[in-house]
């Protein structure tokens, strides 16, 4: 989830050591700011509970951030979006850490059209299944932003202010969740 300090049309001046220009594919926009990454425990009937919250600059690739921080997660099943599609790396990850990453199927450029049509039905069903399992984390980000407006960091003017903005709003949202379930 992006935390936006200013639009992509302008040059970001707030916390240049932490922020940079990034692109949010789901919102189809460029921005200056940070990305908020969450690894969460699935809970039936409600939003996930975060196990880890990671902040990176806006240009950093999500898969790179996962690779840098995955050493502590053994015996887990992860569900990511298409950016996490990397069969070779996740095959090694599965053998080394007994953990798996499930992602929607990513189209392969130049694939024979007959093979593509042959595999399409199974791939569509699999992709819909993975996306439906991922839906709660999208709901988590929506809940967090609705409760705190964490994505809107336009009024922040310093590095410390940006960090307080992010982690203070996360703490406030969870304190609210604990005391007002």
Write down the domain spans for the chain: 2-179
> What percent of the chain is modeled with pLDDT above 90?
54
Please tell me the predicted confidence (pLDDT) of residue 30. Answer: 92
Question: How much of the chain, in percent, has pLDDT values that exceed 70?
Answer: 99
DSSP H or E stretch at residue 113: helix 113-148
Strands 29-41 and 20-24: antiparallel
Is the pLDDT at 167 greater than 80, yes or no?
yes
Looking at every residue in the chain, the average pLDDT score rounds to 89
**What mean pLDDT is predicted for residues 110-127?**
81
- Beta partners for residue 56, in sequence order: 35
Instruction: List the beta bridge partners of residue 39.
Output: 52
Rounded to whole angstroms, how far apart are CA atoms 6 and 66? 25
pLDDT band at 55 (very low <50, low <70, confident <90, very high): very high
H or E stretch including 23? strand 20-24
Query: What pTM does this model have?
Result: 0.84
| Residue 116 scores a pLDDT above 80 | no
Position with higher pLDDT, 2 vs 117: 2
Q: Tell me what pLDDT residue 35 has.
A: 93
Span 54-70, average pLDDT? 91
**Alpha carbons 104 and 128: distance in angstroms, whole number:** 7
Dist. CA 5–CA 84, nearest whole Å = 26
The pLDDT assigned to 45 comes to 86
Confidence of residue 169 (pLDDT cuts 50, 70, 90): very high
For the CA atoms of 170, 172, 174, 180, what is the dihedral angle to 10 degrees? -150
Residue 111 pLDDT > 80: no
pLDDT digits (tens, 9 = 90+) for 137-158: 999 999 999 999 999 999 999 9
């Amino acid at each position: 989830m992006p935390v936006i300090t200013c639009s992509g049309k302008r040059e970001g001046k707030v916390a240049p050591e932490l922020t940079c220009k990034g692109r949010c594919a789901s919102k189809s926009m460029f921005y200056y700011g940070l990305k908020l990454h969450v690894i969460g425990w699935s809970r039936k009937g409600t939003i996930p509970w975060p196990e880890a919250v990671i902040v990176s600059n806006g240009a950093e690739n999500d898969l790179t951030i996962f690779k840098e921080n995955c050493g502590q997660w053994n015996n887990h099943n992860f569900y990511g979006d298409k950016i996490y599609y990397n069969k070779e790396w996740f095959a090694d990850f599965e053998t080394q850490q007994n953990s798996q990453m499930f992602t929607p199927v990513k189209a392969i450029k130049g694939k024979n059209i007959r093979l593509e049509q042959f595999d399409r039905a199974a791939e569509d069903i699999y992709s819909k299944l993975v996306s439906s399992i991922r839906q709660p984390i999208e709901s988590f980000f929506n809940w967090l932003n609705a409760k705190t407006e964490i994505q809107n960091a336009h009024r922040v003017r310093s590095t410390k202010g940006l960090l307080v903005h992010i982690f203070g709003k996360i703490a406030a949202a969870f304190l609210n969740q604990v005391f007002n379930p």
